[in-house]
Structure 1
């Protein structure tokens, strides 16, 4: 591939964004997926899997903070966390910042993604893989959740889009397994793409989650890397009260941890559960 070549993301057939590849750093196929890593003057280093942008240096903090801290501060007493996917290490980094968390299990299907991100995206994990609380398992998330006897307070599914090996993490069976892996007041969250352009996938997720959780909803964040509008995150719990926090409660929990963030804060937390009306209308009809 020539340097400084325009590359077109392939997630959507008829539209999408272009990235200027200013320096190609890596391009090979692992045992599971095609991987490309390149430099871009706006987004920094960019990782592409199966022709779909997965993460960038410039705005990864938005995605990782929102997928991690919204459920952690909503719950208020997370001790055991399961991360499915997340080989870039960003979710692990954010989870490890919470010193009250006792055990962290991470299940990633592709060891090559972990190793590549340690090399090309070291700030994503910031040495979180060295945390003594971590148990790293190389396995398919669907298989692990089906077989494990462990219980968790929080499950974070940080998957690719529902293509290739990421498909298993959007199945009703996977959500059922996750429900069975959660403690009584546990929370399941997952990335669910850009609703405006992935409406059908979001509706399917909503229907499948509702089969297994009493409380099913989405929350949102605006992440420049992901083309097409706001990104939504799926939420499932059998405690219908956990998302109903007041602002002062969230502020107090954040203050107690003494953590600082680049995107997440108490007001962002509260507002993230308020979705645009077009999304609410479609979900009500589904």
Structure 2
């Protein structure tokens, strides 16, 4: 039963999403952001940073499966993966399901997010921090990308929205550094919001991708927590064929990977690049502006 406390998300002007709170499980003002974790009767545990919903235990699998398995299976031979952000480690857990991935580096600016996630989100990130293939780097993602000499087959940017600490992870400077540290034919995937309410974010990201990469695009997933319809995940690569893999090839690779999923399938993977017209229009506008 709710204790009467309500948390409101006001990310989108003119829209307010309210969550009833059964219990506040953790609350802290960190060096970088205000963090609260609470329980809700519909979504389970909900993490909010600076008043914006980040992850819930009920539907995290959709976001994490689509951000990880789409680029890794599309690539087909990814051995080194970089995650920028992703402090709840749910994305890392999905990446590490791929035995073919030899090393996973996660760069997170706020260690307190990782520390509390290890305790409170063990139902979907258990064992990640102890995995010998996993390396956690506590550093600003922009700085890491600019200075590292390491190279990665897949880079996944699991960032907050382009406000506050997360804003630099949407900059052209950052994307250029990511391009530098990708291996030839590697792929970048980003969190790009809900285009029905955040169209400009998608247009701007695709515009910046297009100035740097041979292929700039987006794919979609339906995630109940993120209000406003389809969520877009940005896609950038110099290999223009990666996002056009036949479902039969994806099926073969997924079968070889040998693990189960709750949302991702090879057919969903292939279909996720088929965009509704209003989202496709935003992608094409971004390309035209480059």
| Alignment TM-score, normalising by the size of structure 2 | 0.96
| Aligned-partner SS, 1:36 | strand
Q: Identify the residue that residue 91 of structure 1 maps to in structure 2.
A: 91
| Aligned-partner SS, 2:274 | coil
Q: Identify the residue that residue 121 of structure 1 maps to in structure 2.
A: 121
Deviates more, 1:255-264 or 1:57-66: 255-264
| Aligned-partner SS, 2:212 | coil
Task: Output the CA distance in 1 between the equivalents of 2:285 and 2:35.
Answer: 38
Matched, 1:57 2:45: no
Task: Output the CA distance in 2 between the equivalents of 1:78 and 1:268.
Answer: 20
| Aligned-partner SS, 1:35 | strand
Task: Output the CA distance in 2 between the equivalents of 1:45 and 1:4.
Answer: 17
* Runs of 4 or more consecutive aligned structure 1 residues displaced over 3 Å after TM superposition: none
Q: Identify the residue that residue 181 of structure 1 maps to in structure 2.
A: 181
| Aligned-partner SS, 1:128 | coil
Q: Identify the residue that residue 75 of structure 2 maps to in structure 1.
A: 75
| Aligned-partner SS, 2:3 | coil
CA displacement at 1:247 relative to structure 2: 1.1
Task: Output the CA distance in 2 between the equivalents of 1:281 and 1:100.
Answer: 36
Matched, 1:131 2:131: yes
Q: Identify the residue that residue 221 of structure 1 maps to in structure 2.
A: 221
Q: Identify the residue that residue 240 of structure 2 maps to in structure 1.
A: 240
Contact 1:66 1:221 in 2 (8 A): yes
Contact 2:189 2:236 in 1 (8 A): yes
CA displacement at 1:282 relative to structure 2: 3.0
Contact 2:152 2:181 in 1 (8 A): yes
Task: Output the CA distance in 2 between the equivalents of 1:123 and 1:264.
Answer: 19
Task: Output the CA distance in 1 between the equivalents of 2:107 and 2:61.
Answer: 21
Task: Output the CA distance in 2 between the equivalents of 1:282 and 1:46.
Answer: 30
Task: Output the CA distance in 2 between the equivalents of 1:285 and 1:252.
Answer: 35
Q: Identify the residue that residue 168 of structure 1 maps to in structure 2.
A: 168
String of CA shifts for 1:80-105, please: whole Å, max 9, x gaps.
Answer: 01110111001100011111111111
Task: Output the CA distance in 2 between the equivalents of 1:170 and 1:56.
Answer: 24
Contact 2:176 2:212 in 1 (8 A): yes
| Aligned-partner SS, 1:240 | coil
Task: Output the CA distance in 2 between the equivalents of 1:216 and 1:182.
Answer: 15
CA-atom RMSD in angstroms: 1.1
Task: Output the CA distance in 2 between the equivalents of 1:54 and 1:99.
Answer: 27
Contact 1:88 1:124 in 2 (8 A): no
Number of residue pairs matched by the alignment: 285
CA displacement at 1:173 relative to structure 2: 0.5
Alignment of 1:144-155 (within 5 A): 144-155=144-155
Q: Identify the residue that residue 8 of structure 1 maps to in structure 2.
A: 8
Task: Output the CA distance in 2 between the equivalents of 1:4 and 1:130.
Answer: 39
Contact 1:16 1:227 in 2 (8 A): no
Contact 2:151 2:182 in 1 (8 A): yes
Task: Output the CA distance in 2 between the equivalents of 1:57 and 1:283.
Answer: 31
| Aligned-partner SS, 1:130 | coil
Q: Identify the residue that residue 205 of structure 1 maps to in structure 2.
A: 205
Task: Output the CA distance in 2 between the equivalents of 1:285 and 1:175.
Answer: 19
Matched, 1:275 2:275: yes
CA displacement at 1:259 relative to structure 2: 1.1
| Alignment TM-score, normalising by the size of structure 1 | 0.97
CA displacement at 1:258 relative to structure 2: 1.2
| Aligned-partner SS, 1:211 | helix
